[in-house]
Amino acid sequence: MDTNHSELQNTETGVQNIIHFEEGILGFEDIREYLLYHEDESGIIWNLQAAHCDVPSFVVVDPYPIVNDYHPVFPESELAYFGEADAENLCVLVVAVIKPNLNESVINLKAPIVIDVNTKKAKQIILDNTEYPIRYKLFRDNR
């Protein structure tokens, strides 16, 4: 899977690309179009904002720099949604819940968002191989 998400935003013109979810996002199935843009220059933190209203808005992150051994296996039936997409054109992001006490912030590794960077089609996929938790601490205690 692609961890370089630069194709998802046209940074030269500042134009945001509309990402389309045919099935919406869990809990927000009626909202199908979102804007995706960087929150940091490293491309790790993103904002996924409903395209035509103020809510919902999600903080999403590139999981690979945070979780070294994150290797989600997507069922072929889920990947069929993207058609003939090359796996290198699929980017994976995970939803973050940022708490006032940052040490309590978590990311959802069990239900990543997968985006085809060419077509801007997206899908939230619930993983069957569920050693990945719904609440993975974003900031690990290094003591």
In a domain, 88, yes or no: yes
Residue 52: pLDDT above 50? Answer: yes
pTM: 0.84
51 falls within a domain: yes
What CATH number corresponds to the domain at position 69? 2.30.290.10
Instruction: Give residue 29's pLDDT.
Output: 94
Q: Tell me the backbone φ, ψ of residue 108, rounded to 5 degrees.
A: -95, 100
Q: Which residue has the tokens 């995970």?
A: 94
- Widest Cα–Cα separation across the chain: 46
For CA atoms 68, 2, 125, 101, give the dihedral sign.
positive
Q: Residue 114 falls within a domain, yes or no?
A: yes
For residue 70, the enclosing domain spans 6-137
Residue type, 23: E
φ, ψ (nearest 5 deg) of residue 38: -65, 145
Task: Indicate whether 1 belongs to any domain.
Answer: no
Instruction: Please say if the pLDDT value at position 107 is more than 90.
Output: yes
pLDDT at 143: 37
Question: Does any domain span residue 143?
Answer: no
> SS3 of 128, please?
coil
Q: What is the pLDDT of residue 31?
A: 96
Q: Please check whether residue 142 lies inside any domain of the structure.
A: no
Q: How many domains would you assign to the chain?
A: 1
Residue 29 included in any domain: yes
